[in-house]
């Protein structure tokens, strides 16, 4: 009968709205903490980090997945902003570029204090929630940003870095990346080298979250085994639903469960459906799968907004988070499970990382072996084969004379 068809259609529409209303009610109390957003990289490539020019106004910023009105509409209450520098800066200006990306994040907080507040701990996130501001944290994406130096690692911590992704899409001299699993790169550290293990230990001591997005499966397992605190995957999805090596396989998901760790699901179409097109519902499938294998406490969101070129229909920008939450409610996720995925799981991991940290413990000091440092443009001060610090002009002249004599020029 025609009447009942309309009635059912009406019921369907009302139910749809109900889940959306319910999502908004939940998110007013527990906004989303997203694990990975590349807006700082966009600010570099679009404006060379000039925030004061007219087009860079974050209230009206166009052609990005992220701006202030979209963050507000999406109930984003916490954001790990990515301090990212590409792999081609490795052994070159990676540290400088990382510092500049941390600087642009901090200037965002300074310029828009009514929207952003830069925080460095879990209490700061909770306080930002109460104030209705976006808790802004620094995630450094790629171990090449520390340039194989524990001193740089510690200094980045002091500047606000609260997670470090052990690799981007390249090996560091101490950790292997996911391209090792596709055969495009060679395994060099078999997961983590001895120095890589020191990096992980030092991150535990400092209270920097270990991020395993982008690393090889061997590196995932080595870090999960070694870390005394839970870890995160700041923007990775489930391998068993889309066989892309950037995703997390089920045996690793079980380790995630055993260690109280967290997978923040990436929305990039290529990792969601292994195709150019994807849907919001397929993202929910990844969340369902991780919940099934690793538990509801292991699920989070790491959209990778402004870091990817293709996003699912229905999740086109950061304003769409309530639609994804409505879909989880439609799939009978409980309110506690949804609040966990939104923020509470990340807060639990972050608090555990803070508890494990111990600044009274002695820092790791053993430098990476000289032979493992790459690139010819670096100096080797501190290593035995390096020239002495107090080399005198006379000594320089003497060695110059030796060289010239050797060449038969004197």
Which positions are annotated as active-site residues? 36, 38, 141, 168, 214, 235, 304
262 pairs with which residues across the strands?
Answer: 232
Is there a contact between 300 and 261 (Cβ–Cβ < 8 Å)? no
Rg (Cα) of the chain, in Å, rounded?
24
Rounded Cα gap, residues 231 and 111, in angstroms: 32
Contact between residue 363 and residue 150 where contact means Cβ atoms under 8 Å apart? yes
The helix or strand, by DSSP H or E, that contains position 43, with its residue range, turns out to be helix 39-47
Count CA atoms within 13 Å of residue 229 on its CB side: 27
Residues 6+ apart with CB under 8 A from 308: 267, 268, 269, 270
| 4 phi/psi in degrees, rounded to 5 | -70, -30
* Dihedral angle sign, alpha carbons of residues 387, 151, 143, 254: positive
Spatial CB neighbours of 317, under 8 Å, sequence gap ≥ 6: 64, 65, 66, 70, 74, 305, 311
Contacts of 199 (CB under 8 A, 6+ apart): 143, 146, 150, 153, 166, 174, 175, 192, 364
Distance CA 252, CA 242 (A): 15
What whole-number distance in Å separates Cα of residue 364 and Cα of residue 204?
11
As a whole number of angstroms, the distance between CA 386 and CA 202 comes to 26
Task: Indicate the Cα dihedral angle 250, 255, 256, 259, nearest 10°.
Answer: 170
Cα gap 137→34, rounded to integer Å:
10
Number of H helices, E strands in the chain: 16, 9
């Amino acid at each position: 009968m025609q009447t009942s068809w309309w009635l059912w259609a009406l019921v369907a529409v009302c139910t749809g709205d109900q889940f959306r209303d319910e999502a908004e009610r939940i998110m007013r109390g527990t906004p989303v903490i997203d694990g990975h957003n590349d807006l700082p990289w966009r600010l570099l490539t679009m404006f060379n980090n000039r925030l004061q020019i007219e087009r860079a106004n974050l209230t009206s910023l166009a052609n990005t997945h992220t701006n202030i009105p979209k963050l507000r509409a999406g109930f984003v209450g916490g954001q790990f902003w990515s301090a990212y520098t590409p792999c081609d800066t490795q052994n070159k200006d990676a540290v400088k570029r990382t510092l500049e990306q941390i600087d642009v994040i901090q200037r965002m907080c300074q310029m828009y204090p009514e929207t952003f507040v830069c925080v460095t701990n879990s209490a700061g996130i909770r306080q930002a929630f109460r104030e209705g501001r976006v808790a802004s944290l620094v995630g450094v994406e790629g171990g090449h940003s520390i340039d194989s130096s524990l001193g740089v690692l510690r200094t980045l911590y002091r500047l606000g870095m609260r997670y470090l992704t052990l690799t981007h899409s390249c090996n560091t001299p101490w950790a292997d990346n996911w391209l090792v699993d596709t055969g495009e790169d060679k395994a060099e550290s078999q997961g983590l080298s001895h120095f890589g293990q020191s990096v992980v230990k030092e991150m535990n001591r400092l209270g920097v979250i270990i991020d395993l997005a982008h690393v090889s499966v061997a590196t995932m397992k080595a870090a999960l085994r070694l870390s005394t605190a839970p870890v995160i995957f700041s923007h990775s999805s489930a391998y068993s639903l889309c066989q892309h090596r950037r995703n997390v396989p089920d045996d690793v998901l079980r380790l995630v469960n055993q260690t109280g760790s967290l997978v923040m699901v990436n929305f990039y179409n290529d990792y969601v459906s292994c195709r150019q097109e994807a849907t919001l519902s397929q993202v929910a499938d990844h969340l369902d799968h991780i919940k099934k294998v690793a538990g509801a406490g292991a699920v989070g969101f790491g959209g990778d907004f402004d870091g990817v070129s293709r996003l699912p229909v229905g999740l086109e920008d950061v304003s769409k988070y309530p639609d994804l939450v409505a879909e989880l409610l439609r799939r009978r996720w409980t309110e506690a499970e949804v609040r966990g995925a939104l923020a509470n799981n990340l807060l639990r991991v972050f608090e555990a990382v803070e508890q494990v940290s111990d600044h009274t413990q002695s820092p790791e000091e053993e430098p990476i072996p000289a032979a493992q440092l790459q690139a010819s443009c670096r100096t080797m001060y501190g290593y035995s084969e390096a020239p002495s610090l107090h080399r005198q002009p006379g000594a320089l002249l003497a060695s110059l004379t030796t060289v010239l004599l050797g060449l038969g020029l004197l």
